Amino acid sequence: MGAEAGADFVQTQVVFDVEKAKQFVDEAAKFNVPLLIGIFPLKNYAIADFFNKNVPGCSVPQELIDKLKQLKDGIQDKEERKRKIDELNVEYFTDFIKELKRTRGCKGTHVMAVGYASVTKQLIDRVGH
């Protein structure tokens, strides 16, 4: 299976836990095709909670959920809250992507920033190509 079966690459669903992503990278190496890990910057606490409770096979680390909840509850000004959430996403996923780049099998990430492209450029600037 893999390239001999016609696959040009493999892409995962959304992954929020870098250790799980690295385990998958190691396991998928046997298929001998480039691997992309899917990430999804979270615009707010409600989205994180939804993913965690309703998307099969997908879990958001409790620490990330807690930080988003603190921002939701602790910052009343919408613009300030949005800025802080942007910062949280950029920090979290910059570290996530850098960790994946250190693995041999991961060839990149698919940033699924639906309606949230502003963080994509920041991630590219921070992580590099």
Tell me whether residue 129 is in a domain.
Answer: no
Tell me which DSSP letter residue 117 carries: T
pLDDT band at residue 55, thresholds of 50, 70 and 90? very high
Tell me whether residue 62 is in a domain.
Answer: yes
Tell me whether residue 119 is in a domain.
Answer: no
Give CA–CA dist 3/29, Å, rounded.
Answer: 12
Supply the range of the domain harboring residue 65: 3-113
Contact of 74 with 66, CB cutoff 8 Å: no
Give CA–CA dist 102/64, Å, rounded.
Answer: 22
Kind and range of the H or E element at 7? none
Tell me whether residue 73 is in a domain.
Answer: yes
Contact of 35 with 9, CB cutoff 8 Å: yes
CATH code, domain with 22: 3.20.20.220
Task: Provide the number of structural domains found in the chain.
Answer: 1
Q: Hey, is 54 helix, strand or coil?
A: helix
Q: Given this model, what pLDDT does residue 2 score?
A: 58
Which pair of tokens denotes residue 40? 């999804």
Tell me whether residue 123 is in a domain.
Answer: no
Residues 86-120 have pLDDT tens digits of: 999 999 999 999 999 998 889 999 999 888 888 99
Q: Please state the pTM of the whole predicted model.
A: 0.89
Tell me whether residue 122 is in a domain.
Answer: no
